[in-house]
Structure 1
Amino acid sequence: MRDPRAEELYRRFSRKGIARQRIHKWLRSFTWVFTVQLLGSVKRVVDFVIALCLLLLFLPVIFLYMIFSLRLPKVDKIARLGRWGIVFYEYKFKLPNNMFGKVLQMLRFHRLPAMWNVVKGDMSLIGPSLVSPQKLTLNQEKVRRRCSVRPGFICLWWIRKRANIDYETELDVDNEYIERQSFRRDLGIALRSIPAMMYGKGVKISRDYINIFGILIRNVTMDEAIEEIMDVMDGSEKKQFCFVNPDCANIAYKNRDYFTVLKNCHYVLGDGIGIKIAGKLLGNEIKQNVNGTDLFPRLCEKLQKTSKSLFLLGAREEVIQGVASWVKENYPNLTLAGYRNGYFTQQEQQQVIEQINDSKADLLLVAFGAPKQEKWIAQNQAQLHAKVAIGVGGLFDFYSGRMPRAPQWMREIGMEWVYRLYNEPRRLWRRYVIGNVVFLYRVMKQKLRGTTI
């Protein structure tokens, strides 16, 4: 009887097998280059026509600018790295530092001369981000791939940065775009850039905290939040972390017990587009949308590289089992100390606490929903041995597969809440349709009173 493994090894590593693999590798490379060239040729024609039309269309705007400012617009030239590593100069209008200039800046008028770069073939309308030649190293595979296409007037990373979900590096997002580029995807990016402009500039300087209704929200990036969680697990003290979205803020506005828990919490993180808008209204923009759903897989990735362990508590039995299976499948090196559903009586509570402590878990995630989960952690943290305890709301529903998450493009335009409302209208209509309006009203009232940090 033949050994299937031996046959497989012979098929792959015999002379014919190695030759076959080389041919397949060459064909894949040829196909990729041919596809890039074909798409590039068609895309170049589309770029040329649209950019030329836009330049002609906005000529009257340039004349109006000259009339109002009584001078020709100044043009800045910025060195950029183009296709095949060729350096070119991106053109931009230098706008006056007054109200008129700020309005034009908001309308992206200063970038209009870059359409000439598109006409010349230096740039594409949609592509990887524009970078200076000094920003890249020469020995990276991702950099070489980035240089195989023209940089874009609009890029995917810019959209994600505007929505505060730029968790990956600029280079990684550029490579994601290149690997998946298509005309349909380019059209989607172009459409998503419209709401992205409404979010204002990406964060440049932000204070360490944002005060919303007296709750001090830490203004950190996703990586900084994860590092803080890891540092606490390495320390000697037990800490509670909380996520606050507009609904949580509305609850805390009236519920003094919940408000007190959030005030005493070690680390409060801003979750959702509503917190971003609130920060902008209060003159203190958040760095990133640090929500539990995006934090969870990144935290699992970090945990599996250490000896730290995780305990999951909450939701129905089938949901918690689904999350546990997802963790084991996607992070096999992570120590899942245990899990339990969230349905237990007051008499069973001590038994649940002992189960968590016996597991010797370093991190406890609790999914009872706000404010119940935060109150439960605060009331029982003295008995719990886990160094970090976090309330995670509906996170388990997403990773168990019970509820689908909004597509990436909806998250990029800050409309994940619309998708959730569509899926659960009866449960969430009051929270989003009424709650969001009430939240923004209260933020504006706080702004008028001058209570900001």
Structure 2
Amino acid sequence: MQFRFPDQTITVNFSDREKLLAEVRRRFRAGHGFALGTINLDHLVKLRRSSAFRKLYAAQDLIVADGNPIVWLSRLAKKPVSLVPGSDLLRPILELAAKENMPVAFFGSQSEVLGKAAAKLTAEIPDLFVIWTQAPAMGFDPAGDDAKAALHLMRDKGVRLCILALTSPKQEAFAILGRELAPEIGFCCFGAGLDFVAGHQTRAPAWVRAIAMEWLWRALSSPRRLVPRYAACAAILPKEVIEAVQQRSH
């Protein structure tokens, strides 16, 4: 499944979780890092508006579908992909890191969140080694000196997997800087994934996710912040549907 823009083409290049995890394992064993993007409809809104964000997203090594609208659009395009939310990927990737003896870092969110998430996940996953955590200061520049210092510190500590708990586009920008300064580290742009684990944010119940209504559950839980976001998402859907249908002939 592809999303085409005048200056970039963004490809969902891993269609399901099993293929993605196999590639992550291969990269762990080869000593190669990666940047993992989890595309959703909100990201498409940002991609439509920002050429800088498009450049960052096109540079991600691995991209999966992190929202049901992306899955539905892929089916319209007859290039189907499975739903692979970042929040659902968190534990499987950490379990894989534990099995492969890959030291892990958590970066983003708040110190309290990172501490709680690290304690919970290391208790749940045998041999998981969270070697370092850091919550950046307010106003963090993902391409600035603090970002570079964090990446150098990760390398010095031997980190091989970094779970990012930042907003977009900061997490994607930090991941791409990491690919340059710490090429052996895998960076996962998982947004609120660690916040959910720590209980800092509450994810929609499983039955709500099963009927593809997590967006509504979230909108009702934080309407002032999320209703405008989802309105912007709805506004681009007609164009995305047309472009998905046009992909059928390619």
- TM-score scaled by structure 1? 0.50
- For 1:163, the equivalent position in structure 2 comes to none
State the one-letter code of the partner of 1:255. Answer: S
When Rg is computed on C-alpha atoms for both structures, the one with the higher figure is 1
Are residues 1:279 and 2:70 paired?
no
Taking the TM superposition and a 5 Å limit, the aligned residue runs for 1:9-158 are: none
Amino acid in structure 1 at the alignment position of 2:237: L
Partner of 2:243: 446
- Are the aligned partners of 1:309 and 1:363 in contact in 2 as well (CA < 8 Å)? yes
**In structure 2, C-alpha distance between the alignment counterparts of 1:278 and 1:445, rounded to whole Å:** 9
Shift of 1:243: 0.8
Q: SS of the counterpart of 1:304?
A: helix
State yes or no: 1:212 paired with 2:3: yes
Structure 2 partner of 1:260: 55
Corresponding residue of 1:251: 46
Amino acid across the alignment from 1:375: A
Structure 1 residue 347: deviation in Å? 4.2
Amino acid at match of 1:292: G
Aligned ranges 1:292-371 → 2 under 5 Å? 292-343=86-137, 344=140, 346-371=144-169
The runs of 5 or more residues in structure 1 that have no matched partner are 1-209
Deviations 1:2-50 (A, max 9, x none): xxxxxxxxxxxxxxxxxxxxxxxxxxxxxxxxxxxxxxxxxxxxxxxxx
Q: Distance in 2 between matches of 1:219 and 1:361?
A: 24
Q: 2:18 corresponds to which residue?
A: 223
Instruction: State whether residues 102 and 129 of structure 2, in contact with CA within 8 Å, keep that contact through their aligned partners in structure 1.
Output: yes
Deviations 1:231-252 (A, max 9, x none): 1111243321111001111111
Name the structure, 1 or 2, with higher relative contact order (CA <8 Å, separation 6+). 2
2:232 aligned partner, one-letter code: G
Deviation at 1:404, TM superposition (A): 1.3
- Once the two structures are superposed, the pairs formed by residues 426-445 of structure 1 within 5 Å of their partners are 426-432=224-230, 434-445=231-242
- Which position in structure 1 is the counterpart of 2:211? 413
Give the corresponding residue for 1:242.
37
State the AA in 2 paired with 1:442. K
Aligned pair partner of 1:397 in 192, 195, 198 = 195
How far off is 1:216 after superposition?
0.7
CA distance in 2, matches of 1:302, 1:347: 31
Alignment partner of 2:100: what SS? coil
Query: How much has 1:259 moved relative to structure 2?
Result: 0.8
What letter corresponds to residue 2 of structure 2 in structure 1?
N
* TM-superposed deviation, 1:219: 4.2
Q: Secondary structure at the match of 1:259?
A: helix
SS of 1:247's equivalent in the other structure is: helix
Secondary structure at 2:158 match in 1:
coil
Matched-pair identity in %: 20
Separation of aligned partners in 1, 2:229 and 2:65: 17
Provide the C-alpha distance between the structure 2 equivalents of 1:312 and 1:276, rounded to a whole number of angstroms.
28
Partner of 1:137: none
Separation in 2, partners of 1:370, 1:250: 11
CA deviations over 1:145-174 (Å, ceiling 9, x no partner): xxxxxxxxxxxxxxxxxxxxxxxxxxxxxx
Aligned-partner residue type, residue 189 of structure 2: G
Aligned counterparts of 2:85 and 2:23: Cα–Cα separation in 1: 15
Q: What per-residue deviation string (whole Å, max 9, x for no partner) do you get for residues 86-129 of structure 1?
A: xxxxxxxxxxxxxxxxxxxxxxxxxxxxxxxxxxxxxxxxxxxx
Q: CA deviation at 1:386?
A: 3.8
8 Å contact 1:360–1:385 — kept in the other structure? no
Asked whether 1:232 is paired with 2:27, we answer yes
8 Å Cα contact 1:232/1:387 also seen in 2: no
Q: Is the 8 A contact 2:14 2:20 kept in 1?
A: no
Using a 3 Å threshold, how does the CA distance of structure 1 residues 265 and 350 change in structure 2: closer, same or farther? Answer: closer
Residue 291 (structure 1) aligned with residue 78 (structure 2): no
CA drift at 1:332? 3.9
- Give distance in 1, aligned partners of 2:244 and 2:84: 23
By how many angstroms is 1:340 displaced? 0.6
* Contact 1:322 1:400 (8 Å CA) reproduced: yes
* Root mean square deviation of aligned Cα: 1.9
The gaps in structure 2 that reach 5 residues or longer are none
Corresponding pairs, count: 241
Query: What SS is found at the alignment partner of 1:365?
Result: strand
